[in-house]
Structure 1
Amino acid sequence: MRKPDRTSKKPLYQQISDEMERSIIYGEYPPGSFLPSERKLAERLEVNRSTVVQAYEELRARGIVESISGSGTMVSNHIWGIRPNLTPNWRQYVEGGTFAPNLPYIRRVREVLRERESIIDFASGELSADLFPNEAIKQLMRDIPFEAYLGYDDPSGYLPLRETLVGFLEERLRIRATEASILITSGSQQSLYLIMQCLLAPGDAVAIEDPSYYYSLSMFQSAGLRIFRLPVKEDGIEPEDIMNLYRQHRIRMIFLNPNYQNPTGTILHASKREALLKIAAELGIPIVEDDPFSLTSFDHCPPDTLKSIDTHGSVLYVGSLSKVAASGLRIGWLVAPQAVVQRLADARQQMDFGLSIVPQWLANKFLGSDLFDQHIHFLRDSLSLKQHVMIRSLQQELPDQISFTPARGGLNLWCTIQDKLDDQKLLEEAIKRGVVFMPGTVFGSEPGHLRLCFARPSMDEIASGISKLAQAFHALTQKC
């Protein structure tokens, strides 16, 4: 909902009531649904609560809404004389369907980030604006040929980009591929979605790390998959756990993030990688390797990917530019056997007829230029410095309350809380003070952990954000 225009001659309450009426007409608030509370809407629109009260009174006077004692303000079921049985039950539709909503913590964090632009964001796993290669992209955009083809492209993706990725992946990550074995996607999550929808069926058992970013993805639940966990230790998962899960549940696929794992930052030990690939080959189980962070290696020397040492063809490799360049470009890639690429490309074509050619053209030029080398060196050094600032601030502000192991790459610091604190209460105390983080339970871990993204806030915000987080800790421990 748009904030009212304070320069307009129309009273603020009138603007709010008119805007709310439009939202009701357009179906955003169907009959029988409740409007935001007066307090929440006042905070969102940055007006006094009394202004919202007056706006709601105006809507009641028009017969559009009614007050329900103890519940709030509800859109009338008899709005404008329409009989209830002629109005679709939108709540029933919204709560139906097969695609599960995001987890409550994720929805809460995103709501706060939308409503409060000034909040310090340790929750979002993406780069800050100053780490985007803006100048490089501007320079490349000036070179877009006027006669560029803007129609539907190859469903597997822009051929020149796939050809560039063949050399890029081999040079930087020692991954061998051909243009026919690469599918361009709109980021890693589309790759994962296509894999789940096309290569698995409801009821199939899959293994994921614990804790894991995958646990936060409702798409696993939406696909009807049975999820079994692989505990992550200091050097990654135990390959033998896969054999045990296979014996018990006949798992059909393994989803892993071996390098700078999200959220823990751990690196799967080299000896475990060999054992893992051997077990996967013996059992005939594919491994989906999600690798968003290898190129962020702080020492400029990333560990081998599973795909680069896979001699059995067991690994489906997923990468993207989201964590190393700009999430807004929406460029990712999947390296897989040609038959898999064709199957997934066919499914993706049914969804969107293929990606826009413009970001693919930009990604191709960027990856094939010296501009990418300049950017990735700058990014690695900047992320390393940001983590250093965060660690120093945590040691100063919360020396006895939080422990952690510094990451060697990636965007996140995984922290263990020494005292038992309620995740939800700690998050709400932090929000009150102007900082937000992601509770560890979002990733399937036991209570007592949190993930702090040091990439999203600016360098100047990190110390201030940790100070606010410390205030939330102290406030909650005093209450306990």
Structure 2
Amino acid sequence: MEWKPNRHSHLTIHQQIVNWIKQRIQSGEWPIHTKLPTQRKLAEAMGVNRSTIVNAIEELVADGILSTRVGDGTYVSNNSWNVLIKDIHPDWEKHISSSIYEPNFQTIQLINEYEQRENIIRLGTGELSPDLLPTAVLQRSLQNVPLTARDIGYSEPKGSRQLRHALSRYATKRGIHATPDSIMIVSGALQALQLISLGLLEPGSTVFQEAPSYLNSVRPFQSAGMRIVSLDKENRDNRLPDQIISMKGKKQSLFYTVPTLHNPTGSIMSLDERRELLQICAYQQIPIIEDDVYHGLAFGKTPPSLKSLDSDGQVLYIGSMSKTLSPGLRIGWVIGPEPVIDRLADIKMQTDYGSSAFSQQIARHWLESGLYEEHIDQLREQLKRRADFVEEILQLRYNSIATWNKPAGGFYIWLRLHEPLVNKALFLKLLKQNVLINPGYIYDAKDFYHIRLSYAYASFEQLETGLNILYEAIAEGTS
């Protein structure tokens, strides 16, 4: 054996010896079960202390590359090749498991996977049916969208100024007075939440939400290290103000809410409730995130938005076209105090350098031409027909096993079974029958009673078939 460690190397003598033994095994010179030279012989041949050899061998034994037999020396381990292969390649599993961003729950991962399959009946999806998207009108309108080289380049940090002017005028119709400088374009409402979690809160901050909550199914704040606190509005013994005060803590806080057509319940917060929430949060100095992506889809008149009632700049308002015009456009917006919008825009530029320029120009044209509001009026009528159709089926078949509220708009009916049958087993059982539901436990881990039914995506025929299959699965569970 002619090899000796290089005493001028940046590696320690110990590490060089460990690497040399590994190389002998990897190259096949020392196959499995090979007996190594004695520690004394190795030390003499390498010109090192025996203790250095002992330490190197102990490390390789601990790693499973070598094994020792009492009174019989040291051998190459049976498992040495597998261990060395792992040692060569990056441990991606370790990288994944220790990363910052929280993985989705398995049920949500399955929902995301199976929603893409054409044979699946989607009874819970938060997306418009292709039949409800104004594809033909969108295509025709492209001919009327003026594009210059500047229009299709990188936009300003806050997004297209033309679109922000159009959104400023649009917001005014809802009583929200916002200058273009206090508006930022985002790639959908979810990106707005991610930017807020990164730019406005310290680790360990408290994010209040109403239970159940859409936030539990997407987890942007959880991944940023925030403490999520679900509040029970129906708890008469512990009112909302008392819950907030007792759970606020010493770190920063904010309150996330969907006051109009709440996701997943479809409920609408009353005007008195909105005023009380503003008052509570103002007193506790808690900013509010108002997620208002469904407001245009209400079947009747709704109370004014929280932002329109806000006189102190405490509300960050989120809007989007994903639930109304096209999820593929990826156009949403945030309205708030200018310093906050400046901060969020700076972070957005660090992450994606701006939302799609083409999408922004299309959105601007639809707002300025009146096409958007015309489409919303038609969409609302179509959703109302679908809601009535689903409720008729529920009245015929589900009265004995569940309760629900008449839908007030949007996409969803929050169906409550009489028994806690909405578990993973039911979800998987339906999946085998090509029916996909959104179970209540993805919005509240303890909820095994509810299903978020959506009438917005599946066809009328699929809705009837899917609801019949769901009924039979529930009936089998109760028998």
* Contact kept? 1:207, 1:251, Cα under 8 Å: no
Residue correspondence of structure 1 range 50-69 to structure 2 within 5 A: none
Cα distance, 1:242–1:170 mapped onto 2, change above 3 Å = farther
Cα distance, 1:379–1:246 mapped onto 2, change above 3 Å = same
Q: Secondary structure in 1 aligned to 2:341?
A: helix
* Contact kept? 1:403, 1:415, Cα under 8 Å: yes
Deviations 1:359-418 (A, max 9, x none): 000000011223222211111111111111111112222221111001212111101111
Query: Which residue identity does 2:109 align to in structure 1?
Result: R
Deviations 1:108-127 (A, max 9, x none): 2223333x421110121111
2 CA distance for matches of 1:130 and 1:443?
28
CA shift at 1:78, angstroms? 6.7
CA shift at 1:241, angstroms? 4.0
Q: Secondary structure in 2 aligned to 1:83?
A: helix
Indicate the structure (1 or 2) with the bigger Cα radius of gyration.
Answer: 2
Query: Which residue identity does 1:474 align to in structure 2?
Result: A
Q: Secondary structure in 2 aligned to 1:312?
A: coil
Q: Secondary structure in 2 aligned to 1:142?
A: helix
In the alignment, what sits opposite 2:183?
182
Deviations 1:139-176 (A, max 9, x none): 221223353422211010000000000111111x2211
- Is residue 125 of structure 1 aligned with residue 117 of structure 2? no
In the alignment, what sits opposite 1:340?
340
Residue correspondence of structure 1 range 12-91 to structure 2 within 5 A: 83-91=85-93
Query: Which residue identity does 1:404 align to in structure 2?
Result: W
* Contact kept? 1:316, 1:334, Cα under 8 Å: yes
* Contact kept? 2:270, 2:303, Cα under 8 Å: no
In the alignment, what sits opposite 2:172?
170
Cα distance, 1:319–1:448 mapped onto 2, change above 3 Å = same
In the alignment, what sits opposite 2:45?
none
Q: Secondary structure in 1 aligned to 2:231?
A: strand
Q: Secondary structure in 2 aligned to 1:228?
A: strand
1 CA distance for matches of 2:358 and 2:81?
48
In the alignment, what sits opposite 1:289?
290
* Contact kept? 2:422, 2:440, Cα under 8 Å: no
In the alignment, what sits opposite 2:402?
402
* Contact kept? 1:306, 1:315, Cα under 8 Å: yes
* Contact kept? 1:263, 1:412, Cα under 8 Å: yes
2 CA distance for matches of 1:238 and 1:386?
36
Identical columns (%): 34
* Contact kept? 1:230, 1:241, Cα under 8 Å: no
Deviations 1:436-469 (A, max 9, x none): 1111011115221111111111233211110111
* Contact kept? 1:77, 1:84, Cα under 8 Å: no
Residue correspondence of structure 1 range 321-340 to structure 2 within 5 A: 321-340=321-340
CA shift at 1:239, angstroms? 4.2
- Is residue 111 of structure 1 aligned with residue 139 of structure 2? no
In the alignment, what sits opposite 1:57?
none
2 CA distance for matches of 1:155 and 1:85?
44
2 CA distance for matches of 1:394 and 1:311?
43
2 CA distance for matches of 1:465 and 1:263?
19
Number of residue pairs matched?
Answer: 398
In the alignment, what sits opposite 2:28?
none
1 CA distance for matches of 2:261 and 2:242?
20
Q: Secondary structure in 2 aligned to 1:105?
A: helix
Query: Which residue identity does 2:86 align to in structure 1?
Result: P
Q: Secondary structure in 1 aligned to 2:410?
A: coil
CA shift at 1:289, angstroms? 0.5
In the alignment, what sits opposite 1:8?
none
2 CA distance for matches of 1:234 and 1:385?
34
CA shift at 1:343, angstroms? 0.6
* Contact kept? 2:289, 2:318, Cα under 8 Å: yes
In the alignment, what sits opposite 1:365?
365
* Contact kept? 1:259, 1:266, Cα under 8 Å: yes
CA shift at 1:198, angstroms? 0.5
In the alignment, what sits opposite 2:56?
none
Deviations 1:221-269 (A, max 9, x none): 211111111114499x954245434565666111111111111111112
1 CA distance for matches of 2:395 and 2:280?
41
CA shift at 1:476, angstroms? 2.7
Q: Secondary structure in 2 aligned to 1:452?
A: strand
Cα distance, 1:137–1:206 mapped onto 2, change above 3 Å = same
2 CA distance for matches of 1:261 and 1:136?
29
Cα distance, 1:410–1:138 mapped onto 2, change above 3 Å = same
1 CA distance for matches of 2:207 and 2:374?
39
- Per the normalisation by structure 2, the TM-score is 0.79
Deviations 1:60-87 (A, max 9, x none): xxxxxxxxxxxxxxxx9979x9933211
2 CA distance for matches of 1:380 and 1:276?
28
Query: Which residue identity does 1:460 align to in structure 2?
Result: E
Cα distance, 1:146–1:448 mapped onto 2, change above 3 Å = closer
Cα distance, 1:128–1:156 mapped onto 2, change above 3 Å = same
Q: Secondary structure in 2 aligned to 1:368?
A: helix
Q: Secondary structure in 1 aligned to 2:115?
A: helix
Moved more, 197-206 or 238-247: 238-247
2 CA distance for matches of 1:462 and 1:218?
29
Q: Secondary structure in 1 aligned to 2:193?
A: helix
- Is residue 375 of structure 1 aligned with residue 382 of structure 2? no
1 CA distance for matches of 2:176 and 2:279?
18
* Contact kept? 2:324, 2:376, Cα under 8 Å: yes
1 CA distance for matches of 2:207 and 2:405?
29
- Is residue 412 of structure 1 aligned with residue 387 of structure 2? no
Moved more, 285-294 or 101-110: 101-110
CA shift at 1:422, angstroms? 4.8
Deviations 1:84-111 (A, max 9, x none): 3211122212222100111121012223
Q: Secondary structure in 1 aligned to 2:414?
A: strand
Cα distance, 1:165–1:375 mapped onto 2, change above 3 Å = same
2 CA distance for matches of 1:395 and 1:188?
34
Cα distance, 1:141–1:289 mapped onto 2, change above 3 Å = same
